Amino acid sequence: MFLRFLFVLSLIVIPFQAHAGDIFDDIYGAHMYDIDKEETRILFVTKMCTADIIKGEFHDFSGKIYFDKAEPENSWVDVTIDASSLWLDHEYHKDELLKDIIEGDQILKTEVFPKITLKSTSIEVTSIHTGIMTADMTLVGETHPITLEVTFENAMTDRYATKIDSDKIAFSAYGTFKRSDWNILYALDRIGIRRMVDDVQILLTTKATLSDDQTVMRMQ
């Protein structure tokens, strides 16, 4: 099966601790942001077989982004997704309920593992607006690293794009992983058009708003 998650956001977990008053002083400093659920999309495309591609979206999630614009490598992201908050663009795969397949014992096992988490561990800056983020993703109770290409979409402007809103930021992130690394093996042993692809592609898009709590905590 080919899970293509259109997930959005991301940066890293570098141990960091400081006094809020020392660092949250201007737009170019370091700030804590809350992910805006209304402005964030966690989407996916699932390749069930050659003839059946399913589109879906996770609707329930929360998270924080600590973004240091001056030194992006000191940034991090921590996101938790409700694995059962799944919306799908159609109900059935052949004669089975698609939601039952994905949320059930064959794939996400949501009754046993209700949460999916993504916690960044490092970031490599590649340009003024881009970077490579490594994160620990926990899926079906297993945690393994994933690499994402991250783009800083800049601070949000007003509707006429005449000024920067220092209270908001926007990111996108994209990457690929193999679900077999998380021991999700459903239909990988099939052949021909009925075999489900191992690769999972992820795209995350998010907007985040300056948090009321600007206390910088050390990420574990």
The alpha carbon dihedral of 179, 122, 210, 214 has a sign of positive
- pLDDT tens column, 50-75: 667 778 899 999 999 999 988 999 99
Query: pTM for this one?
Result: 0.80
Domain ranges of the chain: 2-210
In total, the chain counts a number of residues equal to 220
State the number of CA atoms in the 13 A half-sphere of 185 facing the CB.
2
DSSP one-letter code for 99: H
Q: Give the residue with greater pLDDT, 177 vs 49.
A: 177
Q: Which residue has the tokens 């059962």?
A: 84
pLDDT at 107 over 70: yes
| CATH class belonging to 2-210 | mainly beta
Q: Alpha carbon 134 to chain centroid distance? A: 12
DSSP letters, 128-156, are SSEEEEEEEEEETTEEEEEEEEEEEEEEE
Classify residue 162 by burial, with Cβ atoms within 10 Å: 0-12, 13-18, 19+. exposed
